[in-house]
């Protein structure tokens, strides 16, 4: 079975750490595997690992736009959601 497919099964069962492990293997084998990045991004979001989520979401966005050659990973564009939500409450 393909690793990204098993990652999807882990994601649906809320086994996020196992999902991330399978995604890592799938991405190592094929660094432009959109499905692996999709499942990885979802698992990171569920685990509230916001900075890693932002990095993964940026990479997924580049893959989906099919511009990996010219697309840089956009750290500042995807600010940490946890920081944003705390800033909103301090007004």
- Tell if the pTM clears 0.85, that is, is over it: no
* 70 contacts 61 by C-beta, under 8 angstroms: no
pLDDT tier, 71 (very low <50, low <70, confident <90, very high otherwise): low
Give the pLDDT confidence of 51-67 residue by residue, as tens digits: 999 999 999 998 888 75
The residue among 62, 58, 54, 60 whose CA lies nearest residue 82 is: 54
Q: What is the DSSP letter of 78?
A: S
């Amino acid at each position: 079975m393909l690793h990204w497919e098993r990652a999807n099964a882990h994601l649906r069962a809320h086994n996020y750490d196992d999902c991330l492990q399978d995604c890592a293997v799938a991405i190592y084998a094929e660094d432009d595997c959109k499905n692996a990045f999709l499942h990885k991004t979802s698992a990171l979001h569920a685990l509230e690992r916001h900075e890693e989520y932002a990095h993964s979401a940026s990479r997924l966005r580049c893959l989906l736009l099919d511009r990996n050659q010219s697309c840089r990973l956009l750290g500042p564009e995807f600010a940490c959601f946890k920081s944003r939500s705390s800033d909103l409450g301090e007004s």
